[in-house]
Chain A
């Protein structure tokens, strides 16, 4: 390494950092110390208390301020002579277009979500700027280098999309605590405090699929003179007692399952206590996000697992505080992991439901982690990863491409290595993002609507935000909010039509062209009509093929029980020998990218899949998907496996 050459390349470089969080703070500091002079940094987030344990450029007094701006100021304090340009903005904003990206020599990602990573990948491909990508979870992390024409792109291997759960697992047959959390958060909380007009499956399927007992919504409506204690009791008895009783009536459902136990408030708490529960005066007199029901109930330790009775009291008190202290929010609340009362309510409700179904209860601390998809993060891993990013960035700037490596940061040494460099992989020829290869979509063209296609495939799978869909030369849909009124109305009409009924009918053999102008990405999808779909395994009722290893094509993306499931594990729980095998595998099959999945630290969101036919999905042969952490995933040879686990 010629050090003068190196210094020159660094000094002249103009780099863009995306993300000023855990990795970003470390990266900005290390870039500055390494002699970088012109650094641009984008981050839309503001500083939170829970950032301060690792995002060392921030202080308590900065809470609420822009990460990008505060990070810049902090670094300039010890390195005043360099130039740092902050953007307190979303990298997906239109101002950060291909031309914007083209001005940089290299892009450095320190992001925490898949959506933004994919977006940046596409802009880097379009602008032909090298990308150094990174991610950490706990003690694990990795840095990868993506250079168009030389290596694979970030999306050459399919990434796990947000975990989804079949609706009936959530509404009727939970078997994991995470199912109870999703129920409490996305159904009960949303029903009581969110937009009441939203469709919500808050009732128990009876299991025969035909006449589900759907109570009138009035039960959730609070009478004008109804005091909150009575209201709380009514809700409690309805959702934890009555609904379970109704569900139990259907013997078929419980033939191969443990029967849940209906829980009525009177059985859990003595009458006197229900009336005296909590003490409004003792709860801090705030009305903001720190309002808590815990102090007045004597619940102090959020690490502790509370009893059913304690959870029941917390449920009642949290509900009461929402009504009496935050009444103005009701009807418009959405779940927020930083809303203490919301966390308390969801923890309590999930635990009561877990009691009912014989599922182990969890502490508020753990429940918050699951409900908020909170990433595990420590300063040390971020510091190491930032150092590795800078090393790769410098190689890119020196055009020393043959020495670029992707590096895994491991928790246990593997072949004596804690930091393991691997040669970058070649591009996947069937990658729809960086090659022209068309995808294949199996879909029932007579029953699926354009809306289904846009939501499930174009937005969810292809990750496009402002798509433009063409059938031949006919434009059938365009996303975005700057459309003419009549054009927008026309597209809205199209959305509800089934594919064959579109102005330019989409039938078996049609080819659609989908474009995202901002990402400058265009891809083709061949349509194949298919009549039947397995509700449990293919709940989208459409299957996207082609963007995977070729030999699996015939089986379908989410098809086939024979594929070995991946072994997901929390970082601390990873079996040592497994990790060794994984790494041995890495060195043996350099060109295969199926051994270790990235640790992204993504803040994923859960989704509940709609199911139109409850009966099918009541099958007790439920697909295992209880890992709510996106940690190191050890895979067998087959990347399909990990895909399958995440219930596409």
Chain B
């Protein structure tokens, strides 16, 4: 569906001016329909941001409670297109915290998550193209990535995330990369905007601001003792769990309480190697995550999906300070914390 381009009628027909020039914006205006639909959010981020959103192409690989929240938000916001990748067939586990798929086996049986979610999301906003793409993103040709401005991955191994992140980084155009994972009542978002420049709002106008992001691989390689004091315990817990999943060849959500002894052993190894006191990675936290297994605490999904939605909107529109580079939420203490994990020397 081609975006309707609004050729502005010549308002100057009667050439009655008061010496004031009209500044033409890119020659493209929002349609009356878009202005009416997006009225309330244009009042938040402005017309220019809305125009940029309407041109943005988003890819989401992995559909779960958190990423469908993100999909909903970004479709409502009015992006240009959203492409979904997840060939898994619908299972009970895949349904939890997912409001895009009716709990009706006759509807979902034999169909992939991306197909079903795609159908529902189309309804949310007829002005956004929502597509389902088959295949495994990590195996996609490099050129495939060029179609997108933003890539969001979830539900896959650390190795896959790193590979996809690297592919995004190798393209000539800047492709924003986000990885998001929820475990029990905790969640993590990783952001890589590579080199990002935006107009930062100050009390006295705006100033150009440059941010330099690390890739996921480089960020998690930073020695733990070099990190700022008081880094969220979740940062370390997520590293231990994801490393364990990688060594076992399992995906997020595929661990259980039985794995606790092995996970604790890995915690000790990692902490020893990094000279970090094990108390920074509490056993209770690891246990909580393992016990939950594939189960998510549902109210955490809209919180993580909402923060990720806001971040992607910020990155596309160039409005607002983007998050750098990890975000954590834990329903247990209710804190939503930003952690900047970057090499002190590389800043």
CB-based contact B40/A375 at 8 Å: yes
**Residues from 119 to 139 in B contacting A, C-beta threshold 8 Å:** 123-126
Judge if B76 is at the interface, Cβ distance under 8 Å: yes
Contact A572 B201 (CB under 8 A): yes
Query: Does A374 sit within 8 A of B, measured CB to CB?
Result: yes
Residues of B within 8 A of A377 (CB): 40-41, 44
Chain B residue numbers with a CB within 8 Å of A303 are 35, 47
Q: What's the least CB distance linking B300 to chain A, in Å?
A: 7
Contact of B29 with A by CB under 8 A:
yes
* A70 on the B face (CB < 8 A): no
Task: Say if the beta carbon of B16 comes within 8 Å of chain A.
Answer: yes
Is residue A378 within 8 Å, beta carbon to beta carbon, of the partner chain?
Answer: yes
CA distance A34 to B97 in the complex (A): 8
B37 touches A50 (CB 8 A): yes
A375 to B40, CA, bound (A): 7
A418 & B327 in contact (Cβ 8 Å cutoff): yes
Q: Which segment of B4-12, B141-149, B219-227 sits at the interface?
A: B4-12
Determine whether B62 belongs to the interface, using a CB cutoff of 8 Å to chain A.
Answer: no
Q: How near does chain A come to B204, taking the closest CB pair, in angstroms?
A: 9
Are B8 and A381 touching (Cβ within 8 A)? no
**A417, B335: Cβ atoms under 8 Å?**
yes
The 0/1 profile, CB within 8 Å of A marked 1, for residues 228-259 of chain B is 00000000000000000000000000000000
| B40/A53 in contact, CB under 8 A | yes
- Contact present for B302 and A383 (CB under 8 Å): yes
Contact B338 A376 (CB under 8 A): no
- Whether A419 touches B302, Cβ cut-off 8 Å, given contacts A56-B72, A80-B104, is no
Cβ–Cβ contact A421 & B303, under 8 A: no
Answer yes or no: B151 CB below 8 A from chain A CBs.
no
* Interface locus among B84-92, B168-176, B272-280, B306-314: B306-314
> Shortest Cβ distance from B120 into chain A, in angstroms?
8
B40 near A78: Cβ-Cβ < 8 Å: no
Contact call B35/A302, Cβ cutoff below 8 A = yes
Binds B, one of A39-47, A184-192, A408-416: A408-416
**Chain B residues whose C-beta falls within 8 Å of the C-beta of A273 in the assembled complex:** 14, 16
Interface residues of A in 408-436 (CB under 8 A from B): 409, 411-413, 416-421
B105: A residues at CB distance < 8 A: none
B-chain residues with CB within 8 Å of residue A380 when the two chains form the complex: 73, 77, 306-307, 309-310, 313
Q: Are A416 and B339 in contact (CB under 8 A)?
A: yes
Q: Is the CB of A419 within 8 A of B303?
A: yes
Q: Which single member of B9, B13, B69, B338 contacts A417 (CB below 8 Å)?
A: B338
Q: Given A376-B40, A405-B334, A413-B338, are A387 and B99 neighbors across the interface (CB < 8 Å)?
A: no
Smallest distance from the beta carbon of B75 to chain A beta carbons, Å? 8
Query: Using an 8 Å CB-CB cutoff, how does the interface string of B175-216 with A read, 1 for contact, 0 for none?
Result: 000000000010000000000000001110000000000000
Q: A139-B310, A309-B16, A412-B321 are in contact. Are A34 and B299 (CB under 8 A)?
A: yes
Bound complex: CA of A365 vs CA of B72, how far in Å?
26
Distance from A62 Cβ to chain B, minimum over Cβ atoms (Å):
11
Interchain CB contact under 8 A, A54 and B300: no
Which of B17-25, B157-165, B262-270 lies on the face that meets chain A?
B17-25
| Interface members, chain A 9-36 (any B CB < 8 Å) | 26, 29-30, 32-35
- When distances are taken between beta carbons in the complex, the residues of chain B under 8 Å from A374 are 39-40, 43
Q: Given the complex, which residues of B lie within 8 Å of A419, measured CB to CB?
A: 303, 329, 334-336
| Pair A573/B36 contact, Cβ less than 8 Å | no
Which residues of A lie under 8 Å from residue B309 when comparing CB positions? 379-380, 383
A52 at the interface (CB under 8 A from B): yes
Interface readout for B314-341 with A: 1 if CB under 8 Å, 0 if not?
Answer: 0000011101000101011111111100
Check A79 for interface membership: any CB of B closer than 8 A.
yes
Distance between Cα atoms of A33 and B97 in the complex (Å)? 5
The answer to whether B320 and A411 touch across the interface, beta carbons within 8 angstroms, is yes
Taking a contact as CB atoms under 8 Å apart, the answer to whether B37 and A383 are in contact is no
Least CB distance from B172 to A in Å reads: 30
Interfacial residues of chain A within 280-322, with CB under 8 A of chain B in the complex: 298-304, 307-310
Q: Is there an interface contact between B302 and A420, defined as CB atoms closer than 8 Å? A: no
Chain A contacts of B125 at CB under 8 A? 52-53
Dominant secondary structure of chain A at its interface with chain B: mixed
Q: Which of these, A29, A54, A56, contacts B41 with CB under 8 Å?
A: A54
How many Å from the CB of A132 to the closest CB on chain B? 12
- Bound-complex Cα distance A300 to B29 (A): 10
Contacts of A79 in B (CB 8 A): 99, 103
Chain A min CB distance to B337 (Å): 5
Which of the residues A53, A56, A390, A413 comes within 8 Å of B299, measured between beta carbons? Answer: A390
* In the assembled complex, A441 has its CB within 8 A of some CB on chain B: no
Closest B-chain residue to A601, C-beta based? B40
When chains A and B are docked, how far (Å) is the Cα of A49 from the Cα of B18? 35
B22 near A78: Cβ-Cβ < 8 Å = no
Give the shortest distance, in Å, between A338 (CB) and chain B (any CB): 10
A30 and B73 contacting across the interface, CB-CB below 8 Å? no
Q: Does A575 touch B at the CB level, under 8 Å?
A: yes
Given contacts A56-B72, A138-B44, is CB(A387)–CB(B299) below 8 Å? yes
Q: Do B20 and A307 touch (CB < 8 A)?
A: yes
Residue A519 at the chain B interface, CB threshold 8 Å: no
Q: Which residue of A lies closest to B10 (CB)?
A: A298
Quick one: which of B14, B18, B103 contacts A81, CB cutoff 8 A?
B103
Which residues of chain B have C-beta atoms less than 8 A from A420's C-beta?
335-336
Are A308 and B22 closer than 8 Å at their CB atoms?
no
Q: Is the CB of B11 within 8 A of A299?
A: yes
A59 CA / B37 CA spacing, docked (Å)? 11
Q: Are B338 and A383 in contact (CB under 8 A)?
A: no
Interface residues of A in 40-93 (CB under 8 A from B): 49-50, 52-54, 56, 59-60, 75, 77-81
Cα distance A278–B298 in the bound complex, in angstroms? 56
Closest to B204 in A: A575
Q: How far is the CA of A384 from the CA of B104 in the complex (A)?
A: 28
Q: Establish whether residues B39 and A421, one from each chain, have CB atoms under 8 Å apart when the complex forms.
A: no
Q: Shortest beta-carbon distance, B276 to chain A, in Å? A: 19
Contacts of A409 in B (CB 8 A): 336
Interface residue? A483 (CB, 8 A): no
Q: Which residues of chain B come closer than 8 Å to A391, judged between CB atoms?
A: 299, 331, 334
A643 to chain B, nearest CB (A): 25
Task: Tell whether B102 is near chain A: CB-to-CB under 8 Å.
Answer: yes
The reply to whether A573 and B332 contact each other, CB–CB distance below 8 Å, is no
Among A378, A412, A571, find the residue whose CB has the most chain B CB atoms closer than 10 A. A378
Contact with B along A359-380 (1 / 0, CB 8 A): 0000001000100001111111
In whole angstroms, how far apart are the Cα atoms of A336 and B337 in the complex? 42
* A1 interface residue (CB < 8 Å to B): yes
Question: Does the CB pair A77–B102 fall under 8 Å?
Answer: yes
Give chain A nearest CB distance to B206 CB in angstroms: 11
- In the complex, which residues of chain B have a beta carbon less than 8 angstroms from the beta carbon of A235? none
Check: B65 CB closer than 8 A to any chain A CB.
yes
When chains A and B are docked, how far (Å) is the Cα of A548 from the Cα of B71?
Answer: 45
Q: Given A30-B298, A30-B299, A381-B306, are A307 and B18 also a contact pair (CB < 8 Å)?
A: yes
Q: Is the CB of A308 within 8 A of B8?
A: no
Chain B hits for A376, CB < 8 A: 40-41, 43-44
| B101 within 8 A of partner (CB) | yes
B334 and A53 contacting across the interface, CB-CB below 8 Å: no
CA distance A573 to B46 in the complex (A): 13
Smallest Cβ-Cβ distance to A26: which chain B residue: B302
- Judge if A354 is at the interface, Cβ distance under 8 Å: no
Contacts A53-B78, A418-B337 given; 14 further ones with Cβ under 8 A? A29-B99, A49-B36, A52-B37, A78-B99, A81-B103, A298-B14, A300-B9, A309-B18, A365-B35, A376-B40, A383-B69, A383-B303, A384-B303, A387-B306
Q: What are 14 A-B contacts with C-beta separation under 8 Å?
A: A29-B99, A49-B36, A50-B36, A59-B123, A139-B44, A298-B12, A378-B310, A380-B77, A387-B306, A391-B299, A394-B299, A418-B338, A419-B303, A576-B202
Residues in chain B within 8 A of chain A (CB atoms): 6, 8-14, 16-18, 20, 22, 29, 35-45, 47, 65, 69, 72-73, 76-78, 96-104, 123-126, 185, 201-203, 298-303, 305-307, 309-310, 313, 319-321, 323, 327, 329, 331-339
Question: Ordered nearest first, which 10 A-B pairs have the shortest CB separation?
Answer: A419-B336, A421-B334, A384-B306, A387-B303, A390-B299, A383-B306, A387-B302, A383-B302, A298-B11, A380-B309
